[in-house]
Chains A and B, each alone.
Chain A
Amino acid sequence: MAVEPITGAEIIVKALIDQGVDVIFGYPGGAVLPLYDALFKQNRIKHILVRHEQAAVHAAEGYARSTGKVGVVLVTSGPGATNAVTGLTDALMDSIPIVCLTGQVPTHLIGNDAFQEADTTGITRPCTKHNYLVKSIEELSRKVHEAFHVAKSGRPGPVVIDLPKDVQQAKYEYVNHAGQKHRSYNPPVRPDRAQVEKAVEAMAHAKRPLFYIGGGCVNSGVQACALLVDFIRMTGFPCTQTLMGLGAFPGSDPLSLGMVGMHGMYESNLAMHDCDVMINIGARFDDRVTGKLAAFSPGSKKIHVDIDPSSINKNIRVDIPVVGDVGHVVEEMMRIWKARQVKPDAKALSAWWDQINKWRARDCLRYRASDQVIKPQYALQRLYAAIKDKDFYITTEVGQHQMWAAQFLKFEQPNRWMTSGGLGTMGYGLPAAYGVQVAHPESLVIDVAGEASIMMNIQEMSTVVQYRLPVKIFIMNNKWMGMVRQWQELLHGGRYSESYSDALPDFVKLADAFGATGLRAEKVGDLDGVIAKMLATPGPVIVDVAVDEKENCFPMIPSGAAHNEMLLGPEDQTAKPISEEGMVLV
C-alpha cells in the first residue's frame, strides 16, 4: 500500500473524519498550532471556538448527550488541559463519551518544566476513562481510533489524547484503524442468560415491583429506551427515574412516578422504600438516590442491570446482578417474559397501585402560590406550558433551579435533558446548551439557570453570539446561591455565610453587551408575555426572571435520613431536625 506520508496533524484530522466527527469544540494555543493549521485546510469538520476550555468539554457533553455520538474537544497544553479537567470529571461522573485532544510540548522537552507544560496524562488519569500520551507518530492513528472505541463502548466516558507538538509535525502514512479489536479492553454487552432468567422469575412473582431506571438507559440508545418502554408497559409496573434517567421513560406516562431521590417525588421514594422487587436498569445506587444506606429499601429483592460490573454491589448489595448493555438485557427479558407467558399477580399489583396513588394524592410538588412574587415552580410550570408541544431540549446549571426543572418539566424522549448529575458542576448549562444547539440547529434549546451558576461560564455568551446559536437562557434569579442557602437554613441556623449573590450584573444589559437579546420578568403578570417573547425571538436570549428569594426546594430527603423520612414542605423542616451524622454528609 503506497500511501503518501502526511503530518501527524493531518493524520488526526483524517482519523476524526473516519470516526464521523463533524464538529469540534476547542481553543487554540502554541502546542496545537499544527492541528489548527490542518483544520484550516479542510472543510469537513466544523470548529466551534469556545471562550474557556471547561466550556469546550461541557459543550461536547451537550452535543454527545443529545445525539448519542462522541463529543470532541481540542485544547492546548498546560492551562488548556488543566482548564478542561472540570469538564472531563463531569463527563466521567455522568458517563458521557468524549474524546479530548490536548496539545503537549515537544517530546524532547517533556519533563523540563517547559512553557505551558503540564503532566496532562498524570493530571487527567483519575478523571478520564483512559488517556494516552502519543510519543511517536507510528502509534498515532491507532491511538486516536482506539480512543473513540474506548470513549463510546462499555460504560462511556471521557478519553484524553495528549499530543506532543513534534508528533503533530512528523510525517507518516495514515492507516485507518477504526474497528480494530483491542487486546485487553472488550467490555461485555450480552448478559448471562441464567441471570436474566432469575430476574424475570423474581419479577413474575413480585407483589410490589418498581422499575428504577437511570442514565445507562439513555446511554444504551434511543432504540434501547423504546424497547424498555414497551417492556415496562407490558409489565404494568410503576417506573421511577433518576436525575440522569429522565426521558428514558415518558414523563407523562401513567406508569411513571417521576424522579426518585433527595428532591424526588414522594411517591417514588416511598415506593422505593416499600417495594418487594426493585428492577434497577442502568442506575448506580447513587447517594442522592439511596439516602441512608442502612434504611434503603429494606424489604426488597434487588435486580441490578449495569454494563459496568464495578457499579454492582458498590453501595448496595443486590440479589440478582445482570452485567450487560440495557438494550440487550431488556430484549432478553422481554423474550423470556413472553415465552413464559408471565402473568403478574394482578390483585397484588392493583393493591400496590392503590397505595402508590394514595402517595400521589399527597401532591408533593404543591407549593404556596402567590400573585405578589413569581414562585420559581410557577415560572417553570409556565415555561413548560409554553414549550411542551415544541421540539425542545433542556440543559440546566446546578442548584435549586436544577431540581425544580427536574420536577416540573416532563421529558417524553431520551437525550432531551442535559444536566450535571454526578459532579454537580455550576456553569455546565450554558456551554452544554450551545453544544446541543450545534447538533440540533432547528430545535428549541433552553438553559434553565440560576443567577449564580450562569456567572460561572457567562463568557460563553460570546460563543453563542459568534455562531448565532439561538439558545434561550432562562435565569431564575433569586439573588442567592439557593441550594447553599437552603442547606444553611436547614443545617447551620440560618447563618448565610457567603451565599448571597451580591453585585449581580444587569442581565438585560449584559445580553445587550454581548449582542444578544435581554428580557426581564419581575411581576407574575409579566411572565407569560416574556416567555412568549423569548420563544419568538430568533437569536440567543437571556431572560432574567425575578423569583421568590426565600423559596426552598421540596420535597426533600434530608441528608442522613431514609426515604420514608421526607420533608414535604417548610412545615416539616422545623418539625424534624437533622441528625448529627446527617450534618457531616454533603
Chain B
Amino acid sequence: MSDRSSTKGGTELFAVSKEDGTERHTISVLVDNEAGVLARVIGLFSGRGYNIESLTVAETDVSKHLSRITVVTSGTPMIIEQIKNQLRRLVPVHKVTDLTVEGPSLEREMALVKVQGSGEKRVESMRIADIFRAHVVDATIESFVFEMTGSTEKVNAFINLMQPLGLIDVSRTGVVAIARGPEA
C-alpha cells in the first residue's frame, strides 16, 4: 500500500493516468460473504504482483450473504484487464465492475484526523475543518478529532492543510464507490 498520509505528492499519487503508462482504476467486486473470500482476493493481488492502493470490504446484503469489495489499483491497461479477468475467475465472485471505465461513478472516503495544538493553530484547524465540512467528533483542551468525508483528493487536501497545524494521527477507510444513475 502506498503511504496515504504522506503530505507531499498526495494528489499526484491518485491521478488517473500516470507518467509510466499506468492507470488508476476503482474496481467493485460483489462476492459471497464466506470465510476466506477476502484472503482469495488479496492473495490474488499479492501472488500476481498487482498493486492495491486501497481496499474496503463490508457485507452489503445480509439476506443474500453478499459483500462488496472496493479495490483501488493501478497498472497498465493490459494489467487492469488481467486483474478483472482474474477476479471473475474466483468461484465466490458474482460481479466485477470497473467503475473507472463503466460510466460515471462516485467515490468517497472517510477520514478521522487527530490534531493537537493550542491558540491560533487550534482556531485555524477549526476554521479549515469548517470549510471542508468536517465534524468534530472528539475534543479535549489540546486536541480535536475531525471526521471528514469526500473524494480521495479532498481527504488528501484536508490532511495536507492539517499538517502544519498539529496533525498527529490519521485513520482512513479507503475508497468506497458506486455507479451514478438508476442501475445496480
Contacts and interface: CB of A to CB of B under 8 A. Distances in A.
Interface of A: 121-122, 125-126, 129-131, 133, 135, 150, 182-185, 308-310, 312-314, 317
Contacts of B92: 184-185
Given A122-B39, A125-B40, A317 B78 contact: yes
A313 B43 contact: no
Contact of A150 (B32, B35, B39, B91): B91
Contact of B85 (A130, A185, A309, A317): A309
B130 interface: no
B91 A184 contact: yes
A150 B92 CA distance: 11
A313 B81 contact: yes
A155 to B, nearest CB: 8
Contact of A310 (B31, B39, B43, B82): B82
B109 to A, nearest CB: 28
29 contacts: A121-B36, A122-B36, A122-B39, A125-B39, A125-B40, A125-B43, A126-B47, A130-B90, A130-B91, A133-B35, A133-B36, A150-B91, A182-B91, A184-B32, A184-B92, A184-B93, A184-B94, A185-B91, A309-B85, A309-B88, A309-B89, A310-B82, A310-B88, A310-B89, A312-B85, A313-B78, A313-B81, A313-B82, A317-B78
A309 B36 CA distance: 24
Contacts of A185: 91-92
Given A125-B36, A125-B39, A133-B35, A310 B85 contact: yes
Given A122-B36, A126-B43, A183-B94, 13 more contacts: A121-B36, A125-B40, A133-B35, A182-B91, A183-B32, A184-B93, A185-B92, A310-B82, A310-B85, A310-B86, A310-B89, A312-B85, A314-B82
A121 B37 CA distance: 11
B60 to A, nearest CB: 15
Determine the interface band of chain B, counting residues with CB < 8 A from chain A: 20 to 34
Contacts of A312: 85
Contacts of B82: 310, 313-314
Nearest to A316: B78
Contacts of B47: 126
A137 B175 CA distance: 38
Contacts of A126: 43, 47
A129 B93 CA distance: 13
Closest 3 pairs (CB-CB, A-B): A310-B85, A130-B91, A184-B94
A129 B91 CA distance: 8
Label chain B's interface by main secondary structure. helix
Interface string B130-161: 00000000000000000000000000000000
A262 to B, nearest CB: 23
Interface string B85-128: 11011111110000000000000000000000000000000000
A122 B39 CA distance: 8
Contacts of A184: 31-32, 91-94
A133 B35 CA distance: 9
B58 to A, nearest CB: 18
Contacts of B81: 313
A129 B89 CA distance: 9
A393 B26 CA distance: 49
A131 B86 CA distance: 16
Contacts of B40: 125
A130 B47 CA distance: 15
B107 to A, nearest CB: 25
Nearest to B36: A121
Given A184-B32, A313-B82, A308 B94 contact: no
A131 B78 CA distance: 28
Contacts of B43: 125-126
A251 to B, nearest CB: 32
Nearest to B32: A184
> Which one of B35, B91, B94 has the highest number of Cβ atoms from chain A below 10 Å of its Cβ?
B91
B117 to A, nearest CB: 45
Interface string B71-89: 0000000100110011011
A309 B86 CA distance: 8
Nearest to B88: A309
Contacts of A314: 82
A5 B88 CA distance: 38
> Which one of A129, A182, A185, A313 has the highest number of Cβ atoms from chain B below 10 Å of its Cβ?
A185
Contacts of A121: 36
Contacts of A182: 91
A308 B39 contact: no
A570 to B, nearest CB: 38
Interface in B34-60: 35-36, 39-40, 43, 47
B45 to A, nearest CB: 11
B36 A308 contact: no
A125 B92 CA distance: 13
Contacts of B32: 183-184
> Which one of B36, B40, B89 has the highest number of Cβ atoms from chain A below 10 Å of its Cβ?
B89
Contacts of A133: 35-36
A314 B90 CA distance: 17
A449 B132 CA distance: 71
